[in-house]
Structure 1
Amino acid sequence: MLDSHTLKLKPIANINSPNNYIIALQQEYNQWAYTEEQAPQFKGQWRQQVFNKPDSAFLDLEIGTGNGLFFAHQATKHPERCLIGIERKFKPLVQSIRRALRQGATNARVLRYDAEVPWNLFAPSELNNIFIHFPDPWPKMRWHKNRLIQTEYLQKLIELQREKSYLEFKTDHRGYFDHALKVFQNSAYKMEGYTYDLHQSEFAEQNFVTHFESIFLHKGQPIYYALLSKN
């Protein structure tokens, strides 16, 4: 687990030969995308300074947008809510904001940042719902310490959320899910429900199938799901 200030990613300013995705973020999508240097400057002020919304507006976060299918869907389905997506890699950042904008969503922004330290970006009680879909399971025992869902992480994450907000978690990895459930059940979150087979559960009707999810379903792999709340 990273401390409150450590970043693992290489600053864009230190990349001597920017690729096409970096150029796109800095030029075509510069008003929709924020670098690791820019993003922390808006801590506590995302609604007012970035989205031009009152403090009462909803502000949701997707940690790890992937190719942006869910990100774009969420932004277009809920135009009344502001949405921020965090990613480290440049290609998924571009894919995510491009998909959202092409679908007419102007309520979305993407940030290049490490998922391990969102408290560098957001103040206590600044966020509403948080989505964590298919994070790296770090399957080998010696790697488990790198898993995103840890006790300390949830202790800090819940402080960023407002009352009556949700945390949604999905994974295709049974071992990671078992680990996450134990952490969830010993956290300050309230467990609203969980399932070892999302698509055969009561949660299936409201579920949006992500890119990774469709791949796993095609292979016959069940999707593990948990929904938690801050009350």
Structure 2
Amino acid sequence: MSDEEITPRRSQNSAEPSDGGTSPLEAQVEALTEIVGGLTSKLTALRGRIETLENGDPDEPDGAEDEPADRPAPWVLFAPPAAAEDRLHRSDNHTPLWTVQNFVGWYNTTFLGIAGSQARAIPVCWAEHPGLAQEVAVLAYSWRRAHIGTTANVRDAQLWLQQTRPGFAARLAEWVHPHCLDGRHREVGAVYRANRFAAAESEQRSDATPSRKESQ
């Protein structure tokens, strides 16, 4: 029997290099590592682009007119209500309650219908009725999502007009006393309780109001 027959031949797929260089397995691992690295870089870039679209470019000056996250959709005919999420107000430490309060004022000057219709103003005492307060907050933020920034689309805007707002208007009388709709608050239903943003809003108003000594 010859030495060639006794010595086993190396497999072509052997993980050990035949000439002291890189083995096929190591080469495959290096190639996969390079591919994964490239995909990671692309994923990071995409994540950055998504954050820019959602929150705006931090390098742009405050109040930039072309800020995508704050830009009203073309079908928004009237200046939208100011919101704590707007770039112009992000440094003012406003809470979402401020966004809702501003929306109520905007809503009451926009969606006020004829006498006797369901298109009535949101009563001044809305925040004192827990059920109504929750409805108003959702109404405000659903309007904003459908009409402002990168999430705005005409289909959601039409849905808000056809279903969301009329549904809210129809339920309005379920949360308040009839006198509330005339500006005379009456406590009915759920008992008033402070919302989770009330303390911060109250403190902010106190800080913004000059004391008597300062005003003299």
Same fold (TM over 0.5): no
More helix by share: 2
Instruction: Select the structure of larger CA radius of gyration.
Output: 2
Flag the structure with more relative contact order, 1 or 2, with Cα contacts below 8 A and sequence separation at least 6.
1
User: Shorter-chain TM-score: what band?
Assistant: under 0.3
* TM-score normalised by structure 1 residue count: 0.20
More strand by share: 1
